Structure 1
Amino acid sequence: MTKRLISLREDVGSMALGRVLTLVIPVGEADVDHAVTIAHDASHQHPCRVIALVSGNPRGATRLDAQIRVGGDAGASEIIILRMYGPLARQGRAVATPLLLADSPIVVWWPGASPTDPSADPLGALAQRRITDSARARHPHRRLEELASHYAAGDTDLAWTRVTLWRGRLAAALDQPPYEPVDAVTVVGAGDSPSAYLLAGWLGQALQCPTTITSARSGSGIISVHLERASGAIDLARPAGDSAQLRQPGQPDRAIVLPHRSDAECLADELRRLDPDEVYASALVRGIPTVVVRRPTRRPPG
């Protein structure tokens, strides 16, 4: 198959770009097209070889169907889609290994269900970076607890990458006079939003103060962050859409853009760094367990 890739590149006149890594994607049949599209968009910044491993019926006859995309269909990358059937469906590592780029980093991304312990998974054990997405889990908060208990250097999660802009805005607000310590933090976010928990865990660890999550309705994501200080509170709120409001003592309220990030943007960010993300590890392993969860009180009927 490697020879076929070289031949195709020569036939279509694809540019001789250096592939910087191999991105392996274990994915189900229902999600493969969407996952490959996301990887294609993300790889514009990071030319790579994308290997999508699609597990079919493990009880059928052994069969391997392969599709190769180069040039216009794959941009600056190479995309290989492998559909595995029969006993081969459980041998993703053996199927992918001959196609890994030599002397290049390996990244595994699970766009849907991911193993309980990513680093112990046969494919995860090959990789320098392992990307999960706890937002896709049936019970996101329980999934964060699993990831924390099995964390290994190189693990990360797209739910963490989605809070990058929130982190930047809050850090910029705190990097202004009067440089006071924060006494308490309150994050308002959906109870099913792992990003809200990771943001709260990061704030608690970074600011070393009590941190609370007030749960909002499911599906609403992160709504606001309230930082209490002696001179007055800092409030960053995004109740809907991509527009947010920042309130700081002694300054006029400011409307700022705080967009929801696409999966392709988040994946591109994670492909940009191949070293362990120690800040994520701190938020996940040490920060979240210290966060107090406050459920909204229900008003009595009538």
Structure 2
Amino acid sequence: MRIHLTDTTASRINKALVRARRAIGSPAVGVVLTMVIVTDEENAHDSLKAAEQASQEHPSRILVVVKRPDRTPHRRTDSRIDAEVRVGSDAGSGEAVLLRLHGEVSGHADSVVLPLLLPDAPVVVWWPVDAPATPAWDPLGALAQRRITDAYAVERPLRQLAARVASYAPGDTDLAWTRLTPWRSMLAAALDQARARVTSAVIESEADNPSAELLAGWFADRLRVPVERVVTAGPVITAVRLRTEHGDIVVDRPEGAVASLSIPGQPTRALALKVRTTAELIAEELRRLDPDEAYAAALRAEVKAPPAAPAPTGPSSHEQRRNA
């Protein structure tokens, strides 16, 4: 069921939600959190769709905030709130409200959202594209227990990660880190089997991949080893190599959903390692709302490159030719 409201208020939106639930015979029981999505018009549809799919696992009230401030200095946009209320099959397993904030009210999104939050329930704020410089200090971010950004979705992802180091606060996370969960699980299991000391690591990925940078930080923090990066055509991370005294542990996924795992002294095996959808990443983040200390450590770790190869100690090529 969908209800469209023009030039409305938070009170009318709440009444519309109650009216819609009664109409379909669906009380707001079982909704476990409020998810606030702050995005632009271009990305609103895909972001809402991903959140609705994630709500199959985590029933939520989804609030999509689309800001439309004044664009020209000489033409003032009327300050108003337009809303689209979705309940039932049109809103996944919960309920959704698409808020379009026009004019001056776009600068006070927190005042619009606050009355629409579920009482006594966690709040998660997700910026699919352009996140504030300091998410925890943002008026909407300050309402949340969990703040989700995505460095992969911006034009300069590595610069975004560098900014996150300075602005990090408990509760912050990034989907570039969430994408690493299968890789980290597989590599940790491989190390348990190999039982060998890692001396260095190599990460192969497309250029400027934020997940590769965070994985390098994780290695630096947990293994205390230098990390080398190799640029490939992608997509995303294509291979990881952990060098040990007994040989290399290698996870290789050049393309597709299947990776090969090689451990010294064991046969190579094939394992599932697909590139997950945004909905799957959001669903994972909603499973735990406590501070992600591993992400914080990987974000702040100082990654060292492996030492350069030593200069040759034998005769130079000129001496070799002269002595020939």
Give me the TM-score of the superposition, normalised by structure 2.
0.86
CA contact (8 A) 1:201 1:291 kept: no
Q: Could you tell me how far apart the structure 2 residues matched to 1:162 and 1:155 are?
A: 15
**Quick one: which of 226, 250, 256 aligns to 1:210?**
226
Residue of structure 2 equivalent to 1:8: 20
Residue 255 of structure 2 aligns to a residue whose secondary structure is coil
The answer to whether 1:124 aligns with 2:141 is yes
The answer as to 2:4 corresponding to 1:27 is: no
* 4+ residue runs over 6 A deviation: none
SS in 1 for 2:136: helix
Letter matched to residue 285 of structure 1:
R
- Structure 1 counterpart of 2:137, which letter? A
Describe the shift of the 1:293–1:263 C-alpha distance in structure 2 as closer, same or farther (beyond 3 A).
farther
Give the TM-score normalised by the residue count of structure 1.
Answer: 0.92
On the 8 A contact 1:108/1:129 being kept in 2, the answer is: yes
What SS does the aligned partner of 1:252 have? coil
Distance 2:29 2:182 in 1: 31
Q: What residue number does 1:239 align with?
A: 254
Larger Rg: 2
Task: Tell me the amino acid that sits aligned with residue 28 of structure 1.
Answer: D
Match of 1:140 among 130, 139, 157: 157
- Counterpart CA distance in 1 for 2:78 and 2:125 is 27
- Distance in structure 1 (CA, Å) of the matches to 2:213 and 2:180: 10
What letter is aligned with 1:279? A
Helix, strand or coil at the partner of 2:62: strand
Paired position in structure 2 for 1:263: 278
2:119 to 102, 113, 117: 102
Structure 2 counterpart of 1:273: 288
Aligned-residue CA RMSD (Å): 1.5
Is contact 1:213–1:293 with CA below 8 Å preserved after alignment?
Answer: no
Structure 2: which 5+ runs fail to align?
A: 1-12, 71-75, 308-324
Per the TM alignment, residue 16 of structure 1 is displaced from its structure 2 partner at its CA by 4.6
Aligned residue in 1 for 2:240: 225
- Structure 2 residue matching 1:233: 3-state secondary structure: strand
Letter in 2 for 1:26: V
Q: Tell me the equivalent position of 1:86.
A: 103
Does the residue aligned with 2:286 lie in a helix, a strand or coil? Answer: helix
Relative distance call for 1:37 and 1:291 in structure 2 (3 A) is farther
Paired residues in the alignment total 290
The answer on 1:182 being equivalent to 2:198 is: yes
Once residues 19 and 79 of structure 2 are traced to their aligned partners in structure 1, the CA distance between those partners, rounded to angstroms, is 27
What are the ranges of 5 or more consecutive residues in structure 1 without an aligned counterpart? 295-302
Letter in 1 for 2:114: T
Identity %: 46
The one-letter code sitting in structure 2 at the alignment partner of 1:200 is: A
How far apart in 1 are the matches of 2:279 and 2:67? 23
